[in-house]
Amino acid sequence: MGNCCATINAEESRYSISIDHASNSIDLQPLPIIKTESSSNSLILPKIPIKPIFEALISEKDTCAGIKEETSILTLQSPEECDIKCTCGSYYLYKADLVFWHYEKFGNWNIQCSVCLNYFSKSAWKCNHCDKIICRDCGNIEGMQAIIEYCENNHELIWSPNTCAYYSQEYNKSSYICGLCKRSRNEPSWACRDCEYDICLHCGIQKGLIPTTNLLICGENKPLLHYKKSDIPFICNKCNDITNKNSYSCSDCDFSLCTSRSEPLLACMIAHPGIKCKKNHDLKVIKIENVKKRSGRWYICLKCDNVSMKYGYLCTECCECYCLKCGDEIVRAIEKYSGRNCGMGHGLVWNPCFEVEDSENLCMVCWKRIYGGCFRCEDCGISVCVDDIAKIN
């Protein structure tokens, strides 16, 4: 298995690729379709639908701003603190977990902006009542300020539940140094992998950041913060063990989780709902050595063929995985490039489930075989790999 180049005659292709040398971008245009017979052994899973968000939204004339509205507990952001009002009379709130909310409600992570009608797949603004959504670009035009932090080189920090796994794999360390408080932490972070800059949970929440997913919460839905071992023992609220070792706790309600109870929850956290195997199962960051011993299998990265990874984004049911580097690249690509148009103006969206014979699933830019997920235009039948999506107009 590997991303070897396929020798293909350009005249035999269904697609032409025009290269704009000035902008260094590629515009994909479909040529007349040639009927071909597919193999009976090939398997094509259902495509990820792009469901117009307006079908599920409440009509403006049916909305009532007097209905109780939600408040973001993590940022303590209330509707009264927002300046931008929706046409329904309610307020827009910046939602870091918007992609997960959209996936739970609509079954896909391709979000449509109510203003520009373009698709995207990252945090944005949502009306606190009628669920209308405004992307970051349209929000900036309206003067809306997104809750985003940057590293020292001005790169946007991305929520990363696999931070400790990354430093363990690269430097054999179980912790990292927070860029703000300068303390050693062993919890998820907001990270810039290029600069190896991280902000811990505590400092991020103080800055108003919200984890896209946070399974470490108390009974009042408040986030648990990491505490190092102390002289005062505590009782774990899940297993009732008494210990003074590292814990995740909520000081407001005296709720604590010991390490043995918190680690399985941390392992279940994912950075984006689009990180899935070809059968649509979630990929979770797992120590590969542990599953190797249990399954007796070898694991290879679907993107780069890495077989020596210490941790990986793994589906234990299908034994498919991406190494940490490739998995993080996929997350960044989904958030940055989802919604880019093919040559016919259709949106290219991330699809982890597109599965055909290897000889058929080719990137229409580099002509290499794609063994994992890809960006797809289902109308034109175009696939683009993660490495080349940035080249599309």
Residue range 351-384, pLDDT digits in tens: 987 666 555 678 989 988 888 889 999 888 889 9
* Number of structural domains in the chain: 2
Residue 392 has pLDDT above 50, yes or no: yes
SS3 380: coil
Torsion sign over Cα 73, 79, 83, 85? positive
Q: Which of 141, 174, 202 is the last residue of a domain?
A: 141
Give me the DSSP letters along 189-210: EEEETTTTEEEEHHHHHHTT--
Range of the domain at 104: 53-141
Q: What percent of the chain has pLDDT over 90?
A: 30
pLDDT-based confidence at residue 246 (cuts at 50, 70, 90): confident
Asked if 125 and 221 sit in the same domain, the reply is no
The structure tokens listed for 204 are: 């991020």
Is 188 in the same domain as 232? Answer: yes
Tell me which long-range contacts 370-375 makes (C-beta under 8 A, separation of at least 24).
370/3, 371/1, 371/3, 371/302, 371/303, 372/278, 372/302, 372/303, 372/320, 372/322, 373/274, 373/276, 373/278, 373/330, 374/350, 375/333, 375/337, 375/338, 375/340, 375/348, 375/349, 375/350, 375/351
Asked whether residue 93 carries a pLDDT value surpassing 50, the answer given is: yes
The confidence score (pLDDT) of residue 190 equals: 93
For residue 355, the model assigns a pLDDT of 61
Q: For residue 64, name the pLDDT band (cuts at 50, 70, 90).
A: very low
Which residue in this structure is represented by tokens 């899940």? 238
Q: What is the pLDDT of residue 385?
A: 93
Per-residue pLDDT for 82 more than 60? no
For residue 44, pLDDT over 60 is answered with: no
Residue 156: φ, ψ to 5°: -65, 135
Is 310 part of any domain? no
Residues 131 and 187 in one domain: no
Q: At what angle do helices 163-171 and 324-337 cross, to 10 degrees?
A: 140
Of the residues 224, 252, 267, the one at which a domain ends: 267
Residue 338, in any domain of the structure: no
Pick the more confident residue, 294 or 133. Answer: 133
Q: Are 70 and 163 members of one domain?
A: no
Higher pLDDT, 359 or 331: 331
**pLDDT score recorded for residue 16:** 35
Has residue 5 got a pLDDT over 70?
A: no
Segment 159-177 shows an average pLDDT of: 90
Tokens encoding 81? 């603190």
**pLDDT of the residue at 62:** 37
| pLDDT tens by residue, 181-221 | 999 988 889 999 999 999 998 899 888 888 887 778 887 87
Highest-confidence segment of 34-38, 44-48, 228-232, 284-288: 284-288
- End-to-end CA distance of the chain: give it in Å, rounded: 30
- 83 in a structural domain: yes
Q: Which of the given ranges, 15-19, 110-114, 353-357, 375-379, has the highest pLDDT on average?
A: 110-114
Residue 28 contacts residue 343 (beta carbons within 8 Å): yes
Is 323 within the bounds of a domain?
no
Mean pLDDT (whole number) for 298-324? 90
Residues 104 and 137 in one domain: yes
pLDDT, position 121:
94
User: What confidence tens digit (pLDDT) does each residue in 276-291 have?
Assistant: 988 888 888 888 888 8
State whether 134 and 181 are in the same domain.
no
Asked whether residue 375 is domain-assigned, the answer is no
Residue 128 and residue 164 in one domain: no
Higher pLDDT, 131 or 10: 131
Mean of the per-residue pLDDT values for the chain? 77
Give the gyration radius of the chain's Cα atoms.
Answer: 23
Do 175 and 260 lie in one domain? The reply is yes
Amino acid at 113: C
Beta bridge partners, 351, equal 374
Q: For 37-53, what is the mean pLDDT?
A: 39
Q: Which residue has the higher pLDDT, 264 or 178?
A: 178
Closest to 308 (Cα-Cα) out of 202, 184, 169, 214: 169
Give Cβ neighbours of residue 343 (< 8 Å, ≥ 6 apart): 18, 27, 28, 29, 30, 380, 393
pLDDT at 26: 53
pLDDT (average), residues 105-134: 92
Instruction: Note the pLDDT of residue 120.
Output: 94
Determine the Cα–Cα distance for residues 16 and 57; give it in Å rounded to an integer: 39
**Residue 289 counted as domain residue:** no
Say what the pLDDT of residue 59 is: 36
User: Does the residue 13 lie in any domain?
Assistant: no
Q: Is 163 part of a structural domain of the chain?
A: yes
Closest CA relative to residue 324, chosen from 314, 337, 336, 338: 314
Domain boundary among 267, 297, 328: 267
User: What pLDDT is recorded for position 371?
Assistant: 86
> Measured between alpha carbons, how far is residue 205 from residues 134, 190, 233, 283 in Å?
23, 10, 26, 26
User: Is 134 found in the same domain as 169?
Assistant: no
Whether residues 179 and 241 fall in one domain: yes
Residues 75 and 100 in one domain: yes
Query: Are both 166 and 241 inside the same structural domain?
Result: yes
The answer to whether 138 and 96 are in contact (CB under 8 A) is no
- Give the Cα separation of 16 and 110 in Å (integer): 27
